[in-house]
Chain A
Amino acid sequence: MAHYQVNKTYQEINAKIKKGQAVVVTAEEIIDIVRQKGEVEAARTVDVVTTGTFSPMCSSGALLNVGHSHPPIKMARAWLNNVPVYCGLAAVDIYLGATEPTSDDPLNKVYPGEFKYGGGHVIHDLVAGKTVHLLAEAYGTDCYPRKKWDRHLTMNELTDAILLNPRNAYQNYNCAVNRTKKIIYTYMGPLRPKMGNANYCTAGQLSPLLNDPYYLTIGIGTRIFLGGGVGYVTWPGTQHNPVAPRAANGLPLKPAGTLMVTGDLKQMHPRYLVGVSLLGYGCSLAVGLGIPIPLLNEEIAHFCGLSDADILMPVVDYGEDYPNATGRVLTHASYADLRSGVIEVEGQRVQTVPLSSLARSREIALTLKKWIQEGAFLLGEPVELLPSCPRGEYCPPRAGGVAEIS
C-alpha cells in the first residue's frame, strides 16, 4: 500500500466545490502543471481534473416508457420513425438501440450502404424536441386488448427516457489501416487501399479512461457529463478488460476498460448526442462524455499528467487481420504522432485521420470544469470501483525530483 504525501477525500473536495473554492483544470491543462510543479504539488493544489470525449459509441441506446394508451396495449413490435425497437419488456417499455437502421434501409445491398437514419438519429431527434412517429402492434390480451397504436410523440410526452449505454468511453482503441488493394468501409471510417490512411478514434490526453488508467477513482456511482446532461457510471461496460497488456507507464496497449453509463435523456442536449451514418457499415450515435477525476493523491496526479506522447495505440489491418480475427497488431503509434498527421507503418508514411472530435472533447472538458467551478456539479464517490489489475508500487518522486520531470 503506497503512502501518499497528499491524501484528500471526496467529502473534502465536494465541500470546496460547494464553497466555490475548488481548483478545477482540464486534462490538457493538468499536464503542464504536473510538469512544472511535480505530482505532489499538483495533487496538493488541484482538486479536480476534467476529461472529455466525443465519438461514435455504438453500444448506446435509450430505454423509453411511452405511457399507456386507452385502451391499453402490450406492445409486441414497435417502430420509432420506422426504426425497430425492442419490445420484450413490459407493456410500454421499449429499448431503442443506436445502431438499428430503419426497417426499409437497403443496408449494404447497394454497396457501400449509406445508412441514412437509425436509432442514434431517433435519440438525437427526441433530445432536439422533434416529433417522432410511434407505430406499435400487439397480439392483444384480456388485460391489454389494443392491437395497434399509431401516434406522434415528443420527448415531453414520454413517461421516462433514460440513456442506457452498455459500452462507452473505450480506454484506448485500434488505429485502423487497410493493406488490401481495394478501399474498404468500416466502423473506423473509409480506409483507402495500400494503407492510404490510418484512422483513429480517441481524445488522447483528454480521454476519460486514459487519465485514470487503473480506475482509481472511477466506479459505480461516479457522476459524469453525459450527452450534455448529468449521468452516472453504473457498471463496468461490456467487454471491460482491465488485464489487457499495458506499457510500463500503465496505459493499456490494446482496447481495455469500458463504462456502462446511464442518465436522464430528458435533460440532455442534441449537441452532444448526434446520430451518425457510417458509410458501408451502419448507424450509430456520437456521444459526448466527460468524467471528473478527483486528485485524491499524487499517484492520480501522476496519471493525469501523462500526455499524448505517452499513449500508444495499436495499428491494426482492417483489410485482412481484423475480419479474420487474427489478433495481429502491425505496430503501435503514439497519439502525439497520430495527431501530427503522419505515422510510419512498415516503412510507409501514412496519413492519419481522426474520427473523434477533439474540438468537442475539449468543449466537454471545459463545460464540466465550469459546472464544477460554479458549484453546480458535485463529485459522486463510487460505491465500488471498476475491476482493475495489479499495478506496480507507486514510488513517490524523490526530493528535488521535480527537476527530472522537465
Chain B
Amino acid sequence: MHAEILVLHFGKDIVDQPIIYRLVKDFDLEFNLLKATIYPRQEGIIVLELRGHPKNFEAGVKYLKNAGVKVQRVASEVRRNDERCYQCGTCTAICPTGALHVKRPEMEIVFDVEKCSACELCCPVCPARAMEVSINRNAVA
C-alpha cells in the first residue's frame, strides 16, 4: 500500500472532466480530499491524499499526467526554516494533520513532512514566520 499527498493543478480545459472518478474506478485508488478550489480564471487545484497498491498508484499518476493534470508531490511544499523557528508550538494549535506536533517530555516542536498536507495554515500562524512555502522543482512532474 502506498499513500502520498498530491497537489493536482487542472487547466480550465479539463476542469470539468471526471478525472478523480476515473482514478477510483479504473485504478482502484482511495482518495482523501484535503482542499479543492477553482480560481477566477477557471483553473482548479485539488490537494488530496492518494492511497493504493504501488503499481496502481504509479499508473494513476501516469493517467493524471496524460490527462493534462500537473502533479506536484506535496511533502516538500511547506518547509520549516529551522533558523527562524524558536520552538514555541503555536503552529500545533492549527495543524490539521498532526505534521506539526509537540514531542514530549522534551517539548520540542517536530515537523513531520510526511504528514504535511501543505494546507499552509501554519504559515501565517507562526509568530516567527518560520513556515515557508517553497516550490520544489523536483517535485513538479
Contact = CB atoms under 8 A, between A and B. Distances in A.
B127 A359 contact: no
Given A279-B124, A286-B86, A353 B92 contact: yes
A356 to B, nearest CB: 6
A334 interface: no
Interface of B: 86-90, 92-94, 102, 104-109, 124-125, 127-129
Contact of A354 (B89, B128, B129): B89
Contacts, number: 71
A56 interface: yes
B93 to A, nearest CB: 4
A56 B126 CA distance: 12
A191 B125 CA distance: 11
A319 to B, nearest CB: 15
Given A340-B104, A357-B88, A277 B93 contact: no
B108 A56 contact: no
Given A276-B127, A339-B105, A341-B102, A353 B87 contact: no
Contacts of B86: 54, 274, 286, 357, 359-360
Nearest to A280: B124
Interface of A: 54-56, 112, 114, 116, 189-192, 196-197, 199, 274, 276-279, 284, 286, 339-341, 351, 353-360
Contacts of A340: 104
Contact of B93 (A189, A276, A357, A359): A189
A274 B89 contact: no
Given A189-B125, A276-B127, A277-B129, A355 B102 contact: no
Contacts of A199: 90, 93
Contact of A339 (B104, B124, B128): B104
A353 B89 contact: yes
A341 B88 contact: no
A189 B90 contact: yes
Contacts of A279: 124-125
Given A54-B86, A279-B125, 6 more contacts: A189-B93, A277-B124, A277-B129, A278-B127, A339-B105, A357-B86
A354 B89 CA distance: 5
B89 A355 contact: yes
A360 B93 contact: no
B124 A114 contact: yes
Contacts of A189: 90, 93, 125, 127
Contacts of A55: 88
B127 A286 contact: yes
Contact of B88 (A112, A191, A354): A354
Contacts of B105: 339
B87 A359 contact: yes
Nearest to B106: A359
A274 B128 contact: yes
A277 B127 contact: yes
Closest 9 CB pairs of A and B: A276-B127, A354-B89, A358-B107, A359-B87, A353-B93, A197-B93, A357-B87, A357-B88, A189-B90
A181 B139 CA distance: 39
A318 B132 CA distance: 29
Which one of B93, B108, B128, B129 has the highest number of Cβ atoms from chain A below 10 Å of its Cβ? Answer: B93
5 contacts: A116-B129, A189-B125, A276-B127, A353-B92, A355-B127
A12 B8 CA distance: 69
B72 to A, nearest CB: 25
Given A54-B86, A114-B124, A199-B93, A359 B104 contact: no
A177 to B, nearest CB: 11
Nearest to B108: A359
A190 B94 contact: yes
B128 A360 contact: no
Contacts of B125: 189-190, 279
Nearest to A359: B87
Nearest to B84: A274
Contacts of B87: 357-360
